[in-house]
Structure 1
């Protein structure tokens, strides 16, 4: 199990719990009224006989979309962004349509109605608004919108040709001038029906999981409306008084009326739902192929007309243009994925603020040098640099000035150190310089670094002076073999000794210094005692809905301390694994977390999902399954509320085990989250290969989101990729309002970090002392 520590930055502002309400009783009442009105209207429409001007039918035909405008408006007021725009347009469409029906009732009552006439203008406007709503939703950029329009036009022309061949041409050939005008004008309704249906199907194929059900109902309504349009065109042509076909329109409007009821579902409570990937890409080809085939038959029979052949030519050109657009989009998508992977690899090895190497890159470089040193006579040195009084700069002048000081110091280091050497930022104000086979002594380079700090930093009229404490560790050809971990620990120890010795001090490590690493025996003993006495310190950090501020879940974080200093849990877990007590630790964390959030506790501060970190290799073990069944059987946790998080940096070495383990957890009803995604150079294909339910973006991605414009492109690509795989995205390490605003803009639904809520321990407990 990997219990994670919370963030270490100061507590930020907690968002208010202001979730939009679920469907109200008024909405359910409106839906019931719509169903009742539609039932009456359909019954009257299907009643045999000449009763078209019967008042009950006319008003029932008018009132259903009025109720639909009301339910769509409620959906618009309770959603945000693209969703709000879509439902606002649907509200306008449903509100305008009854105006045309009312005008029809009035003109019919005075005997002044003819078709076509100005009475159809509101209906045309309503259909146009629906088309605009479907074209603009879901938004996938200008290229996708353009392809949507191209598909819709191509299908409309194709359906028009099919309708002409199979129905309208024989009908028009036998009609007089007025009837022919009605027939041609009536062609608008099947064409616009085909247009709306095509756009609806294409939108459904690219919709997110939470939007698929309401969109499916809307598409069903569009099918009915398209059928009603075909019937209406024929009805106007032959002058029939039957009203049975109006049942299609009434049922279609009812679907649009009821669809908003399906919007109010929480994305993160979707259990293990997956987005259904409909093969909508073939939809435009079907009517196009049918239209071209019928035209070829018409040419063979000698009945083809020049206008018909012109339309066929346009359809073929559109097909060619669509194929080119698809190929171009696929090329752009491939380039975007490659660019994203390249940026992720860079981000995985570099610090976001300074662009220096990060800890992972430093460790890889040091591993390479320590292994190569065994075959050469090179000397490897590390300079651990800590900026003195940097916290005072942050507290007095703010983070912006503090960050700029770090950036400028990094630039000075680059100019003062050889290109062959590696400069890394470990976090905060800690830097490391890796010297490979340098001619001069490491202490001389360290003295030069202190000289770099002698020059003050100036920003926005503020002059900032900082000094540094430097720990030096050197490993030469005559020294016994060592590891990168041991060298890093020695350098950290020397740096701490330098800080205790005073500002601007350089201390070289010697074997008499005690390393800061914890002793495994002491650590195992302390953990065993805490497990037996049930005194583990577990902190809970909320996971928040970025749109509403509502708490959607919580993550359990193991708190450990040595005196007044927090201890990194990763080293603790490694020691627990080596000592054979990892199963007991995992079980204890699950049990304690379950007791913290159990409904019986009455004061649980974090509703929703519960996230617990585990080692990837634990997923396919009997001990984890037994621990889970135990907490499930006792009622402390429920499978559909539990999320197990696995770290991205540990999946490559245990790929097959993880796949089996994920399948086993899913069989239990437990969801899996991929933690710290983007913190390493793991390929995006790995994400596609693992059936994870949640993707948690690493803090390193979020940190630069409001500072580097290109980072927004990376995060947006990851969000779209995760969404296409049916996974929910959570952003970690949110500490600034600007980051939260960008996450909202990019459509990231959930986030956690000090801005949204700090980890908090049980008031009766403290961090586990080790």
Structure 2
């Protein structure tokens, strides 16, 4: 056994060496040091099984040496037995607390006690080492994401705190990137979690290739990732990394032999520009990332202060939506639709409204929040059930030929339960699918989505009429008219023409009407507000009219009165 004796007293060193040499059963290779500095120098170039270390020495004492050894990983692999001229219990405890494995007063040194202390010290040291390794393994597991091997949220937040503190001292900036994979849920839902895991691991590989080794990279949960960029001098430094990451996602993923397209949305927050607090900086980056998604996904958005106001507003509306949906307190208004040729009432469009309350939100404000939070599925189901129930009552009381137009969100079209929900509402109210018009906007058709295409085709085959709403606003792609089972086209109110011959809208309006009629679509003019507009719609032989001139949206009670007047009941 290799033993190092560190003691400033030469007599004491000889006593210990002689005692160890008295053993006939074991051999000890002994070296000596007369000071802590000499002992550390010997440790630097040699490996010892045990150190017999005097507690009290001039300049630097033995306890300080133990502390120094444990502070240096390459010097902390040796068991330590402290020896002292004092048998003070408190001193012995201080030695053990510093990291020694045993303590022997010098006046009690015998061969038996010395060998027993060495044996025990080695065994305790082995146990301590195993415990330390176990601790490191548990610590690693606690800080690491098991799927990707990246840091997890807890470890990342600790790294971010340290990075911000270091950069404060250096006077440099930190950029925090929040990343979220686009359309990842669709991959999970359609191909399974194994495919989703493969996308995550391949995404990590691509992102890592865009980073330096010293940049913090973590998976915060699900398909959310984060990156810390230190020593940022210009915003362009962060932009450059973001663009490299975006470019790395241009190629499709190969999952189970199929090509899968999955982009990434990136939000960027800067420290100290946006915040010097780690949690606040994370929130800023998250908010910027959501803004990137709102802007069409697969892009970059830098945090701006007014995003916080918008985010807070969305949060308030989201909570309010939950309460309104839970209390079943939305309202439906109904706007009449007439035949352009004879003025006959054909049906109604169901329009959702916020409950009467002190704080009131319009559909263009709360519907986007409902779509982002997936609450639109529950709201949409309530609209379908309420509108069909109301239509059934009007069929019984007034006219069985009345139709009901119901707006369907692009998010609802991606819900495979939509058809069954519509079927259930039809059966519960004994209403024919042919009397229900499902209105969609072109935003649902902009991206090639197999689920949307499937839903529309199945709904059309089942007998529902499909109307393309707001045509003439935005993309207005003629290809959409050909590629999807559309029966009705509703011209957006912004297309309404004036009587001036020079007005371009007049010519565009006429051309659109002629094209759609030639293609055998039923054409509805929205936003009819003046007699001249109605005359032009009739002149261009549009089929149906809807607007404030003909009828305002009304609640069910007022609509009952309106119907009674129409049918002279």
Q: Which has the higher helix share?
A: 1
**Same fold, judged at TM 0.5 (above):** no
Which of 1 and 2 has greater Rg?
A: 2
- What range is the shorter-chain TM-score in? 0.3 to 0.5
Q: Which fold has the larger relative contact order, with Cα–Cα distance below 8 Å and residues 6 or more apart in sequence? A: 1
TM-score by length of 1: 0.32
